[in-house]
Structures are given as structure tokens and as C-alpha cells.
Structure 1
Amino acid sequence: MTLEQSDGVVTLLIRHRVRPGEDEAYEDWLRRIVRTAHGYPGHLGIDVIRSRDGDLHLFTCVLRFASAGQLQDWMGSDDRKRLVEEVSPLLATGDEQELNPTREFWFTPTTAGSRKPPRWKQACVTFLVILPLSLLVPRLWQPAFEALPWLGGYLPSNALITLTIVLLVVYLFMPRVTRWLAHWLDAP
């Protein structure tokens, strides 16, 4: 895998299909590699999506680094090489990697060869996640705006409401909703 030099956030998808009966050992390994990656410069987090591919457990790791160079440092590190060698007997297939420069990972297919859902389905899911938040979040902030009038001004209040919605969508709701609706999103 080669990475173009970029100053922006880089998202890498890594898929592992785990041999039957090796799930517990894989989960132990996964905790160790996540902990190790966390210590590398530029590491922004890992989301793990657990699903099935036929009879096998499929683990899709969404790995984010602050830059392509920092991701490349992690990918080429002795720590990662050692951990990947250690896990390879547990895997039914190899270490499948997909660089995602667009950072659109919510709607990335969980299995290789699958296609991305149509944009209209992506728009529907995004709308259904953001609409309730756009109605609820301003009400939740209202007591703070009343207690601190400077915070309730046009710019500060809109900045806080928008930031709250974005963080809730990105880190809490969208990953769960797309997993929950995966069958509908994957249907033709």
C-alpha cells in the first residue's frame, strides 16, 4: 500500500475474517493492537465494526491518522508487523486494507466486492440522524443560554449547537445507525 503525501486526515479500513472458534483470541489481540496504535503520533482513533461474512466473524477497523506520513509510520512499524504476524494464524483471509481518502466510511461496504449504497439511501439515513438532533439539541442548550446571556448570542449559540450535533453524529449515532440499517443499505 502506498500513500500519497497529504496533510489531511487519512482513513484506512482494515478487514479481518476470523477463523471459526478463534473469536476470543482475536478480541484479545485486537485490544492489544488498538492500545499499541494509540501510542503512535497522529493517531486519531479506531472504530471497530463487528459483523459476519457467511460463517466467519468479520472485523472492520476504521483507523484514522492526522496525516499520510504518520499512518505510514504506523503501518511500517515493527510493532504492527509483529502483531500482524501474531494474528495471521487466527485469520481465514489476510490483512485486507483499503485506503479511504474521502473519509466517507459510514457507508463503506463491509465486505469486499460489495458496492456502496446509492446516494439517496445515504441522504435518507443522514437526514434521519440529523433531524431529531437539530430539534433536540437547541432545547438542551437553552438553560445554559438563559443562564449565560453572552453564550446565547447568535454566533456562540449556533457554534455550540452545530458542534454538539456534529460530534453526536460522527462519534455516537451514525456508526450505530449504519450498522443497524446495513441490510437495507446493502439491498439493491
Structure 2
Amino acid sequence: MGVAASRVPGGDGATVVTSQKVREGRVDAYKRWQEKTNHVAEGFDGFEGAEVYPPGSGEENEWVAVFRFSRVDELTTWLDSGARRELLNEARPLFEGAPTQEVLAGGAPAPREQEAVTAVISHSVRPGKEPDFVRWQDKVRKVQEKHPGFMGTELFQPVEGIQDKWVVAFRFDTRDNLDDWLASADREKLLEEGHQYFSSYDVRKIGSAFSGWFRFGEGDEEGIPSNWKQAMSVVLALYPTVVVLNLTVGKVFAGWGIPGYLSLFLSNVLSVSILTWVLMPLVNRALTFWLLPDRARSVRTNAAGALVVMVCWAIFLLIFGLTTG
């Protein structure tokens, strides 16, 4: 497995990671409140998705909520909104202390299928030590690469007007490998060196799926659509292709006296070629908002894309029904 280099992202996309220690006996109430919060966030411009992660086994009752928006200004609108303030006031009895949050600006989403455990570490970097801190983080990454299960890291600069901390997100393939790194002598030695660059830091561990929110520098692929989306898209392009070929080329082959088995083979070659180089690129481009996992994160987007495909199916059925009898 390849290892990604640490980078400071500058692209679109903004994520807020909020940690909340839920009071004992209030978990069910918290879940209901979090579902309500997610629903409210969906109504804000730029909302791309939200996920909630429970505490790991044997850990304190600290829950993590992740919200992703298209741009920093859209995320800021949500964070500063009256609706969110009302929700936080409503939830105060559910939490032990105030929730903490890190805002990560940039970072390209990665395929959702990847399973891993992510650590998010926020640092209060000493003034004037920022370049040294970045070099130190690169040194940390090189040491991390040698530890079992390391999958990648990403460095996020402070977000002006929102937070002044630097945030590092890195992932390992299992929680045990992540814990081994966090407790390792190599990391302890690096932290001793790093204290001259930052005054404090805070570590949060987040299970599996959060790793998919960031690419961690691993190439440019944007993820693979779900199987059911692939199937619906292929049927959308395949059905009209097969019907048109049967009505045109199929009749030509029959007129030439080509045997049925050979005619079917030639028709399949033509239909697959048309799909591969003509129709599927067009379908993929038209349905990008729905097919790519990093864009289709909300229920509304998934439902809208499926509805568009089914409407197209119905149109083709109507057209061919009227023209072919």
C-alpha cells in the first residue's frame, strides 16, 4: 500500500469535527438531538454530509460529529447561524462541558469504502514557529511511514476568523495500530522535539468511515459509485442502444443472411463499443452530481439522481413503445 505525503490543502471543501462528551444515561436523547441537528444542517447552502461516531470500546463517552460543506464561507454560515446556536443551547443538559471543534479547510474526499481509524490532532503553534512546525510534521510523517498500518496524513492550516489551531489528521488501518503509534517511543521522542514549536495539543480518535472524508494525497480518483448506481446507469445507456441496433443493424445483418448467433455477437460488439466510448462517458458526465461518492452524500441527492434515471427510463419506454408498436 502506497503512503501519501503530508500536504497543506488549498482547495475547496470545509469540514468541522466536533467532539462532545455525553452525560451518562443521556445517549438516546443525544442521538435524537444529533439527528435533528443533521436535518437542520441539510437546509444550509453547501451542505454535503454529516456523520456521527460513537466512542470506541473502553473509551470515555465522547461522541464525534463530522459536518462537511462545499466551501469555508458556507461552513461558517452554518457555524454562526442562529439555528445552530439554538440547537447547542437545547443540548447543553446532554453534555459534560462545552463541545470542542476543529475546522479543516480543504481536503478532497476519498472513496467511502476505505476502512480505517483516524486521529485528529489540533496544535496551538507558537507564534513565529509555523515554518518549523510544518518541517517537524514532515519529519513525523516520515517516521509514521515505517509503522505498521499507516495509511496517510494531511495537515490543515488555521482558518482565519474561525480558529487559530493547526490540525493534523492521519489514519491507520486498525485501532490497535493507531494506538501502538500513539504510545510508541518514536512518537514520544518526536513530541519532545515538537514542544518547542507548539504549546499544547489535543488528540481525538475517530473510527473507520471518517477516513473516507479525506484523500490523504492518495491519487486523484474520486471514488467508485455504488453498485446499484452503476447498474441503473448502464441500463439507462444500454436499453436504447440495444433497441436501436436491433431496429437498424439487426435488420441489415438479417438481410445479408448472417446467422443469428453471429449477428448477435456482432450486435454485442457494437453495443459494448458504443457504451464504452460514446454513451457511458456522456451518462457519467451528466450524472456526476449523483454518481460520485464525494458529491452524493445526502439522501436528497441520492433520491434526485435515482428519480432522474427512472424518468429517463420511462421516456425511452414511451418513445419505443409508440414507434415500434
**TM-score when normalising by structure 2:** 0.31
1:87 aligned partner: 194
Once residues 78 and 15 of structure 1 are traced to their aligned partners in structure 2, the CA distance between those partners, rounded to angstroms, is 21
Partner of 2:137: 30
Matches within 5 A, 1:3-22: 4=57, 9-22=116-129
Partner of 1:58: 165
Q: Residue 57 of structure 2: SS of its match in structure 1?
A: coil
1:49 to 125, 131, 156: 156
Change over 3 Å in CA distance of 1:90–1:16 after alignment to 2:
same
Count of aligned pairs between the two proteins: 124
Residue number among 171, 178, 184 corresponding to 1:71 in the alignment: 178
Q: CA deviation at 1:24?
A: 1.1
* Gap change, CA 1:44 and 1:16, over 3 Å in 2: same
The residue identity in structure 1 corresponding to 2:292 is: I
Between the aligned partners of 1:91 and 1:37, the Cα distance in structure 2 is 19
The RMSD of aligned alpha carbons is 4.3
Q: Give the structure with higher Rg (CA).
A: 2
- Deviation (angstroms), 1:148: 10
Q: Which amino acid aligns with 2:131?
A: E
Which SS does the other structure have where 2:131 is aligned? helix
Structure 2 equivalent of residue 165 of structure 1: 292
Question: Match for residue 101 of structure 1?
Answer: 207
Q: Supply the distance in 2 between the matched residues of 1:67 and 1:102 (Cα, whole angstroms).
A: 8
Q: Name segments (4+ residues, structure 1) moved above 2 Å.
A: 2-5, 101-106, 146-153
Contact 2:116-2:208 at 8 Å conserved across structures? no
Q: Compute the displacement of 1:58 (Å).
A: 2.0
Which residues of structure 1 form unaligned runs of 5+? 107-129, 139-145, 175-188
Q: Is the 8 A contact 1:13 1:62 kept in 2?
A: yes
- Matched residue type, 2:169: V
How far 1:12 sits from its partner (Å)? Answer: 1.0
Change (3 A) 1:11 1:31: same
Cα deviation for residue 84 of structure 1 reads 0.9
| Secondary structure in 2 matching 1:89 | coil
Distance 1:43 1:67 in 2: 9
Q: Verify the 8 A CA contact 1:12 1:98 in the aligned structure 2.
A: yes
- Counterpart-to-counterpart distance in 2, 1:151 and 1:17: 56
Letter in 2 for 1:27: V
1:7-34 CA distances to partner (integer Å, 9 max, x unpaired)? Answer: x521110111101010111111011001
**1:13 and 1:98 in contact (8 A); partners too:** yes
Per-residue displacement from partner, 1:30-78 (whole Å, max 9, x unpaired)?
Answer: 1100111122111111121111477x85221111111011101111111
Residues of 2 paired with 1:41 and 1:20: CA distance? 34
Distance 1:68 1:102, change over 3 A: closer
CA 1:150–1:41 in structure 2 vs 1: closer, same or farther (change >3 Å)? farther
Q: Give me the TM-score of the superposition, normalised by structure 1.
A: 0.51
- For structure 2, list consecutive stretches of 5 or more residues without a partner in the other structure: 1-54, 59-114, 214-224, 234-268, 298-325
Checking the alignment, whether the CA contact within 8 Å between 1:17 and 1:53 is kept in structure 2 is no
Distance 1:33 1:151 in 2: 50
Aligned-residue sequence identity (percent) comes to 21
Quote the Cα distance in structure 2 between the aligned partners of 1:57 and 1:151.
53
| CA apart distance, 1:103 | 3.7
Q: Residues of 2 paired with 1:4 and 1:151: CA distance?
A: 52
**Pair 73,102 (structure 1): closer, same or farther in 2 beyond 3 Å:** closer
The equivalent residue for 2:272 is 149
